[in-house]
DNA sequence: CCAGGTGATGTCATTGACTGACATCACCGA
DNA sequence: TCGGTGATGTCAGTCAATGACATCACCTGG
């Protein structure tokens, strides 16, 4: 636990959570989720396993750390939509607000992360419940806008679907395509389906 | 490991998996999922913990044992639908086919099971992935019927949604309401929404 | 400048989920 | 009767997760 840097920068190297996130992604990508132990992640991050669990509830959560923030951001964008916006317009605003999170820098991380998640059942479970939680939050947000319950649920579900599909497409797209464009394209596809 | 019955009925009491299922449900309902250990479940079923894991992949799976069978049944019903049935008609047939699994006898078990699942995040995760798998299977079934990919995905998603909502309503309904009736009612609600 | 509080971490011990390897032994078929 | 088979038990081990307690740089009030 003693490196030159640590002694120079205060008691501990700052941003343990960030180091743990990076270490986890690197190891998951390299050896797979099952082939990686929490102790190894902690080692690479220069902390102990106990500290890992102080920052993340479990071994899966380290890959979903940003999701509460993303969700909060979407809910805020939903609430910030004009009062006279239709439910779907408000949801669209929320989905488009995710663009601020997924710039070109995050794309590479997102790709590796997605690869690990899709190849690990345990992580797919976690992702599903995150999406379900997001759906619930958006539904609640719509209800607060005075949207009827049935409509709110459907709009939220649709919005999350659009986000999921767009995210996948964005990951697969060339490096210079911004996610906002992909979302717009997905919305256009949706419009074509319902028409 | 030696009871009178065992000695009389062959080397082991038959249906260890069934006993484990019942023991697990009883203990989960009584002490909660987290408050129950696999060793306790195994004890109550008259086997060892090692045997538990020979029958079920993990502590969660014991509550989802019948799901592959249900899924297979639905996919078969989907395939058995008339060739000229619309995608949604075929999916409806699949959903209605679940009625054979959920009779009055299963209702009580289903209620207790649902109570445990909704109050345990880990189990909700597992349920979500089961539903996702079901959706994929139904989508594949529709594709084999020659349905267009986009339509197939949407129809499957809708069908699973109808199943989920109906199942919840059935559990909450009086004891003499068959699930088939609830499903029909849900379908009617859906028709009203889209109209 | 010092004492005490605070927060992030380390250390240790423990529980419990899950797995692999090997042993057992009633049953069944040749 | 004998050997194979299958379901189980036993044992040892790994690893995720948690609680209790110690440490110690840093900050703040006096």
Residue A150, pLDDT above cutoff 70: yes
Confidence (pLDDT) at B8: 44
Q: Tell me the nt nearest to B47, Cα to C1'.
A: D8
The closest nt to B59, taking CA to C1', is: C17
pLDDT band for position B136 (cuts 50, 70, 90): very high
Q: Give the pLDDT band (50/70/90) at residue B1.
A: very low
CB contact under 8 A, B129 and A128: yes
B145-164 pLDDT tens trace: 999 999 999 999 999 999 99
pTM of the model: 0.93
Q: Is the pLDDT of residue A3 over 70?
A: no
Closest CA-bearing residue to C1' of D19? A50
Mean of the pLDDT values across residues A177-183? 98
* pLDDT reading at A119 higher than 50: yes
Interface contact A128, partner B, CB < 8 A = yes
Distance of A6 CA from D25 C1′ (whole Å)? 12
> In Å, what is the CA distance from A88 to each residue of A91, A107, A129, A185, B99?
5, 27, 23, 15, 35
Task: Identify the pLDDT of residue A9.
Answer: 56
Residue of B125, B150, B154 with shortest CB distance to A125: B125
Q: Cα(A148)–Cα(B73) distance, rounded to whole angstroms?
A: 35
Taking an 8 Å cut-off on Cβ atoms, the answer to whether A193 and B150 are in contact is yes
pLDDT, tens only, B3-47:
333 344 578 899 999 999 999 999 999 999 999 999 999 999 999
pLDDT at residue A183 tops 80: yes
Who touches strand C, with Cβ under 7 Å?
A 1, 11-12, 16, 46-48, 50-51, 54-55; B 10-11, 36-39, 49-50, 53, 57-60
- B93 and B99 in contact (C-beta within 8 Å)? no
Whether residues B125 and A128 touch (CB distance < 8 A) is answered with yes
The reply to whether B34 touches chain A by the CB within 8 Å rule is: no
Instruction: Tell me the shortest Cα–Cα distance from B166 to chain A, in angstroms.
Output: 15
Q: How far apart are CA A62 and CA A23, in angstroms?
A: 10
Contact B128 A126 (CB under 8 A): no
**In chain A, which residues have their Cβ closer than 8 Å to the Cβ of B124?**
129, 132
Closest-CA residue to B173 (of B125, B77, B104): B104
For residue A37, give the nucleotide whose C1' atom is nearest its CA: D15
Structure confidence by residue, pLDDT tens digits, A39-97? 999 999 999 999 999 999 999 999 999 999 999 999 999 999 999 999 999 999 999 99
Q: Answer whether residue A23 shows pLDDT above 80.
A: yes
Instruction: Give the other-Cβ count within 10 Å of B64's Cβ.
Output: 18
């Amino acid at each position: 636990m003693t490196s030159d840097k640590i002694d120079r920068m205060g008691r501990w190297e700052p941003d343990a959570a960030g180091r743990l996130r990076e270490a986890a992604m690197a190891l998951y990508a390299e050896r797979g989720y099952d082939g990686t132990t929490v102790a190894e992640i902690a080692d690479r991050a220069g902390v102990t396993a106990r500290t890992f669990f102080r920052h993340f509830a479990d071994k899966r959560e380290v890959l979903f750390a940003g999701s509460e923030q993303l969700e909060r951001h979407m809910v805020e964008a939903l609430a910030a939509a004009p009062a006279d916006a239709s439910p779907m317009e408000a949801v669209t605003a929320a989905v488009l607000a995710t663009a601020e999170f997924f710039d070109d820098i995050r794309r590479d991380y997102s790709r590796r992360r997605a690869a690990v998640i899709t190849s690990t059942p345990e992580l797919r479970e976690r992702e599903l419940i995150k999406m379900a939680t997001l759906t619930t939050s958006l539904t609640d947000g719509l209800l607060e806008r005075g949207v009827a319950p049935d409509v709110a649920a459907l709009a939220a579900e649709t919005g999350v679907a659009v986000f999921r599909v767009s995210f996948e497409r964005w990951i697969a797209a060339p490096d210079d395509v911004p996610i906002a464009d992909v979302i717009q394209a997905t919305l256009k596809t949706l419009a074509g389906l319902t028409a």
